[in-house]
Chains A and B, each alone.
Chain A
């Protein structure tokens, strides 16, 4: 089998994160029915404002709203490679705030800030808390979420 350390990045081990550093992630993604309707239905969310175009035409918004869980899951995804590609486990989320509606055709981009780094109860990894920000194509903040993850140390998992 291919060596494990060759299957993931080399600049995102626990040692590489500095408290206070902010990253701009390279890729954005446009929210289409593939993201919103598919995931909303797959997770059994029954609120039709996310999947009934006709009903939403007569709502105050006038169009479908992408489900907030999809929006911040996209922000968690857009930031994943740079932040948690080398995570052993994602431990939790906090302070998720949804500040602007998102609709089909909107594009999301992500930024991340390193809030804290602490030792874990094991020598080969440490705990990092990130705050991820999601903005739309107009640069408006649409979602933010804090994520706690147990991240590999290069000293144990990286190439010597």
Chain B
């Protein structure tokens, strides 16, 4: 009889990388369904093109550079899906392909692939698209028709900063259930929250970063004289908190660093919304805090058991 030998532990958690990525995809489904329900087949096309391009870009890049092909971990699918959910359904197919390929090749693979990118690929791609084609990405067709009213004017994302100029104010209920114009996946907060609850229950992510992001945005909005509830329910804040701020690779490790990081996102989002000329803040807030992640990891690690001082963790 021959027995195998290995070092403990002999059991592993059922949550493999692939499983975690699939969990994220499942959690994004309510938001994606709502987007397709609202915007119809063109939204579905954007989602499918984005996901397919992401996987294809990763596959080709890894083939060309002769690195192990890792599309089976499903992380490219997640990136493609998230990117699709943060653009408008009017985004042309070629534009979403550029965005998706940019996310995978430039933001992720050029920096070493999964685990080594320092920016959230989907968000960085969104920022690139926003900078390159601002008019396409910030104009949304109203979709209130589905709810009985017919209103087909193009308008910007409903954010406190520009609403007064437009003379439109949505009710909290409109914001919560997504009876507002916006990008494919960000409008219905309820769908996002349902997905997020699944992420928590399946132990895919922890509550800390999303909770502190939203909470700090609420508090800072209140301090700066914005409507706090409106601030957190409008724009992409909740989506960013639930699915982008807590991206594994680009968020800090220790619980203390995570709180600082999340509060930073809340603060910057509110600052951009209050004083910035650009209506949406969450994208740039997350990207900015992504850049601070290595510093936070280094200076705010967990305290080591039995040591007096918190030691500085120097990344290699």
Q: Do A and B come from one complex?
A: no
The interface of chain B, by Cβ under 8 A from chain A, is none
State the A residues within 8 Å of B (CB): none
